[in-house]
Amino acid sequence: MLRAGGRGRRGHRRQGVLRVDWLPVALVLAAALIFAFSNGFQDASNSIAIPIATGSLSPRLAVTMAATLGLGGAVLGHTLADGFVEALVVPPSGAAGLSVIGAALVAATAWNLLMWWFGMPSSSTHALIGGLTGASLVAGTSVVWDGVWVTVTLPMLLSPLLGLVLACGALWLVARIVDTRSRTQVGRDMRGAQVAAAGAVALGNGLQDAAKTMAVVVVALTISGHASGETVPWWVVASVAVALSLGTYAGGWRIVRTLGRRIIRPAPDRAQGTVAQASTAAIQYLAAVLHLPVSSTHTVTAALVGAGLTGPRSALGWTVIRQILLVWVCTFPGAAALSALVCGVLLAL
């Protein structure tokens, strides 16, 4: 993700690092894989909700496609892991550092599951960053606030706004070119395009999401003296990719219903769905090229709202949209507070 200074900070931290026993390291690794599963579980809706709602894909085929492409994206995206954690916090070496990492993962996972229970799309990225920040403050270690600004505040504002504008503009252009009846026919004929757009989002989810978990695992291995931190071990790539893919296959159906049925009612048409997901995929890949983390959840939700703005305003579920915005604002501080609590308990043991 953010590369600046990543290797230099890791190299400095490795000097004099005492090797920690494998048990606490293994517990942190398990927490990372559970987080990756919950990440896939939370973000599956980004790629499958819309094609399922429009009838372009059956639920089983949609989750199979998303899980497979997410797995491929995770393997391809491991090179994006460099420097993600170090751009935000500088965890201490040894057991204290593992407490920071472990608390962040536990808090982010708990937030993901809580939002799934309420059926609300939420950013796993912002939950993880909030967790790292809250735990670091309790542990008394450095927080790189400039990095938090770049990875949380700016993407939270810019990527949804860009997704909304792209989707709204694209559908407005379609409406100017064809009349209402022709647009309806175009929508019926867009099944293939929508499947392709959904697949692109699924691949982008793997590219973006897995790299963050891999970065956290590599830092945990480095500060515990079990890895150099110069590369991502193959078994980390494989295990995180599989966990993310399995989480995607699980589906997260409560959130699928929110994105697929409650933002545009009774459901988006295929033209709206295709444009929303194509806009999301474009932003995902641009962010990957720039090595910037973005929330695909925020982007696809905003793009769907943008697509809905081209139709009757009454078709948009404004109550649900306001609830989603509230969740977005609360994710970072909520995960930070929970992580601070967990880290305080771990450090007291």
Q: Which helix (H) or strand (E) holds 143?
A: strand 142-143
Global pTM reads 0.88
Tokens representing residue 95 in the block: 């057991």
Q: Which helix (H) or strand (E) holds 339?
A: helix 318-348
What's the pLDDT at 173?
A: 83
Task: Please name the amino acid found at residue 337.
Answer: A
Q: HEC states along 236-270?
A: HHHHHHHHHHHHHHHCCHHHHHHHHHHCECCCCCH
Tokens representing residue 270 in the block: 């295929």
**Residue in 223, 187, 230, 255 with CA at minimum distance from that of residue 42:** 255
Task: Report whether 112 contacts 213 (CB < 8 A).
Answer: no
| Block mean pLDDT (10 aa), the chain, length 349 | 38 54 92 96 88 90 93 86 77 90 98 93 92 94 84 78 93 74 64 92 91 92 84 92 93 86 86 91 89 85 92 89 94 97 94
Cα–Cα distance, 194 to 275 (Å, whole number):
8
What's the pLDDT at 18?
A: 65
Contacts of 149 (CB under 8 A, 6+ apart): none
What's the pLDDT at 229?
A: 74
The DSSP secondary-structure symbol of 3 reads -
Residues listed for the chain: 349
**Residue in 220, 237, 152, 289 with CA at minimum distance from that of residue 10:** 220
What's the pLDDT at 4?
A: 34
Where helices occur in the chain by DSSP H, the ranges are 6-14, 22-53, 59-76, 94-118, 124-139, 145-148, 154-177, 180-188, 191-223, 234-250, 253-257, 270-290, 296-308, 318-348
Task: Report whether 60 contacts 273 (CB < 8 A).
Answer: no
Tokens representing residue 244 in the block: 């993310």
Cα–Cα distance, 266 to 262 (Å, whole number):
7
Helix, strand, coil in percent for the chain, rounding step 5: 80, 0, 20
